[in-house]
Amino acid sequence: MESLLYQSRGDEKKARDTGRGTQLLACVGDRRMTSQTGAQVSQEGAPPRFLADRTLGRLAKWLRILGYDTAYLPQLTPDGLVREGRRQGRIILTRNTRLLRRKDVPPLVFVQSDHFRDQLKQVVEVCHLDPKQRLLTRCILCNEVLVEVAKDAVRDLVPAYVWETQEVFCRCPRCQRIYWGATHRDHVLDELQRLGVLGTEELVG
């Protein structure tokens, strides 16, 4: 799976930010409550943005694969997490039960499982994420939105067989990593299906 993280397809660069109406459910312990502040965190029609706590690095990586803006700052203390979540208007993803007792936290999702697959499923469901709409539009390492670049511009930057067989290339504006490849997209879709995030029918087309 790791190899996929370095070469992915950016043909959905025109990530539509229309999303769904943001009706967030903040999942707090066993209670589920509709977050009235969801609309403040995510402007009408804009996709939710996340800030993952230090225990959720793998979840953060997968949310980026799905194309969702996910900050991961493992050096943050719980107070720092709350502060940055509020300042940046991000939904906090956390396994820290102590945050549930605080009244000053911005919208958060308490991630219930230790297991990455269940974590991803929970966030996709609770936040109404579309697993395919923005797939592979974001750098998995930097969280930056990828920018399409001309094929000629990457001739010396990718292996010859890749240049000859691929038509769409994107670059991360921060780390300059080049992404490509419909094949990788298929692999990611297979993985998402294996994780239970996609149904079989969603792989068709």
Which positions lie near Zn ion, rule CB under 5 A? 139, 141-142, 172, 174-175
- 100 vs 175, which CB is nearer to Zn ion? 175
- 107 vs 134, which CB is nearer to Zn ion? 134
In the complex, the smallest distance separating the C-beta of residue 142 from Zn ion, rounded to whole angstroms, is: 3
In the complex, the smallest distance separating the C-beta of residue 140 from Zn ion, rounded to whole angstroms, is: 8
Nearest to 138 by CA among 38, 71, 65: 65
Residues in a beta bridge with 94:
110
Residue 60 main-chain phi, psi, to 5 deg: -60, -45
In the complex, the smallest distance separating the C-beta of residue 135 from Zn ion, rounded to whole angstroms, is: 17
Number of Cα atoms under 13 Å in the Cβ half of residue 27: 18
In the complex, the smallest distance separating the C-beta of residue 153 from Zn ion, rounded to whole angstroms, is: 17
In the complex, the smallest distance separating the C-beta of residue 152 from Zn ion, rounded to whole angstroms, is: 22
- 46 vs 142, which CB is nearer to Zn ion? 142
Query: DSSP letters along 133-191, please?
Result: TTTT-B-TTT-PBPEEE-GGGGTTTS-HHHHHH---EEE-TTT--EEE-HHHHHHHHHH
Residue 16 main-chain phi, psi, to 5 deg: -75, 125
- 1 vs 175, which CB is nearer to Zn ion? 175
Strands 147-149 and 169-171, how do they pair? antiparallel
- 5 vs 28, which CB is nearer to Zn ion? 5
